[in-house]
Chain A
Amino acid sequence: MCERMTDRVSSCDVLIIGGGPAGLAAAVAARASAARVAIVDDNPGLGGQIWRGEERTPTTPEATEWLRRVRAAGVEFISGARIYDQPADGLLLAETDGGGVIALDYGKLILAAGARERFLPFPGWTLPGVAGAGGLQALVKGGLPIEGRRVVVAGTGPLLLAVAAYLRKRGARVLLIAEQAPREKLLAFGLGLWRSPGKILQAIGLKRQLAGVPLRMGCWPVAAGGDDRLQRVRLRQGDRAWDVECDYLACGFHLLPNTELAVHLGCAVRDGAVQVDELQQTTRPGIYCAGESTGIGGLDVSLIEGQIAGFAATDQPGKARALFAEHARQQRFADLLNQTFVLREELRSLPTANTLVCRCEDISFARLRDQPSWRAAKLHTRCGMGPCQGRICGGAIEFLLGWPAESVRPPVFPVKVGSLLFDHGERRGEDATR
């Protein structure tokens, strides 16, 4: 028969989707009870995006400490596996890099799926050599050679400084940082930092690492050029535009919560983020969400939300409540941060008629802007119908054309047809006892 049984079954009390800071914190908190806890992540290692590679090459004491605590707590880690379907309540299916399928049988679920960068299309952004800011950092952490390469870091958000500092430490020649947010907003943000002394220290640390690298505020990339790969970036600041010769453009426009799996599971989403109560529970009982998926808040918010979710999911509400005050304090900082890095109106005119917006199907801005809705654009141009399922173009289109994101059709992530053949239901009891 063609119907297949899963290659492996994993049963746990608390299943955590995502091994970044929120997921790690949730795991440690949940393990403070007797619960069996598992983390599943698409990446080959723990740490998520911000702490990618920290287990192999420790650089951040805080990351090292959390990773140590997770390892010491006895948490099962399933790596290189992405969730693609929920065939029944309490059961998720994940496909592994090797093409195998794991059935994940759980009691409570904590979604800690993090965020992705928002990309905005401009002429030349599809050239090899143009990557996300976090994107280039992740690639370098994965071994991409960067020493001696000329890099322009651009876009918006606190990530830009961290990425620039990291790339510089790895030997890149960071030519400049172009932050679209205006100087006034950034100064106001800097003043706001006085309320968070810890953040000041981080900022000062970054400033030292970035000594000599120009930070241009109210400045953004308008075009990338080169033959078959990036050779130069055109930047604009006020009335002035100029070209910078470079090898890489690391460019991201702040972050967008990853909500696709939550939506697939029926959890409500508001303003692009998964809706949760004070115990991080979504609108679906027993499903919690923590970290960037609930709204962009940064590392500290993610760690606290992760702990709250971990405690709440394991009947330790007292410990969760003890973190509420700190959560509220960190959240104020996150709100300030998000206000600071709001996208400026001028960025809406970044794409020209011929600029591709959908990179999977090569759909130009001209073909999209006259469509009446996302669904019409999808049906009549195939925009967003490729393998990224709209994850890349969706955030851009929301900003450029004002169309709210559409729900992702199953599977929630592209998988092999064979992975959809798994017969789980009838054999579930049998599987669980193996």
Chain B
Amino acid sequence: MPDVVTLSVNGRTVSVEPGCTVAAAIARAGAVAFRRSVAGEPRAPLCGMGICFECRVTIDEQPYARSCQIVCREGMDVRTDD
């Protein structure tokens, strides 16, 4: 197992240790808003366990991925609504 995983968050390269969630990688990349609400408010993870859907982001062009439940993989392209 490699000791570091590199991915892209909003075009910015981030390296994290294996097992790190996408939500954590987004925070490390300095993004505050994970998604914009229906009314345009910035939102970030609330429940941390995959049920509130506030952590949803686009991963490899798939919208609505729950970043708190998904572990970072090498080369992932993550987009937030920041």
Residues of B contacting A138 in the complex (Cβ-Cβ under 8 angstroms)? 47-49, 68
Question: What does DSSP make chain A's interface, helix, strand, loop or mixed?
Answer: loop
Indicate which residue in A135, A359, A386 contacts B48 across the interface (CB closer than 8 Å).
Answer: A135
| Complex contact A80–B69 (CB within 8 A) | yes
Interface size class of B (residues with CB under 8 A): 35 or more
A56 and chain B: residue at smallest CB distance: B19
Bitwise, B46-69 to A at CB < 8 A (1) or not (0) is: 111111111010000010100011
Shortest CB distance B2–A (Å): 15
Q: Could you tell me how many residues of chain A have their Cβ less than 8 Å away from some Cβ of chain B?
A: 42
Residues of A contacting B47 in the complex (Cβ-Cβ under 8 angstroms)? 116-117, 119, 131-132, 134-135, 138, 392
| Complex contact B68–A228 (CB within 8 A) | no
Q: Residue A294 at the B interface, CB < 8 A?
A: no
Question: What does DSSP make chain B's interface, helix, strand, loop or mixed?
Answer: loop
Residues of A contacting B9 in the complex (Cβ-Cβ under 8 angstroms)? none
| Complex contact B46–A359 (CB within 8 A) | yes
Q: Residue A97 at the B interface, CB < 8 A?
A: yes
Indicate which residue in B20, B24, B32, B39 contacts A229 across the interface (CB closer than 8 Å).
Answer: B32
| Complex contact A142–B21 (CB within 8 A) | yes
Shortest CB distance B28–A (Å): 6
Residues of B contacting A387 in the complex (Cβ-Cβ under 8 angstroms)? 53, 56, 64
Knowing A228-B32, A359-B52, A391-B51 touch, does A131 contact B69 (C-beta < 8 A)? no
Residues of B contacting A362 in the complex (Cβ-Cβ under 8 angstroms)? 37-39, 41
Q: A: which residues have CB within 8 A of B?
A: 42-44, 49, 53, 56, 80, 82, 97, 99, 116-117, 119, 126-132, 134-139, 142-145, 228-229, 359-362, 386-388, 391-392, 414
Q: A128-B32, A136-B48 are in contact. List 7 more A-B contacts (CB 8 A).
A: A56-B19, A131-B47, A134-B49, A135-B46, A135-B52, A138-B47, A387-B56
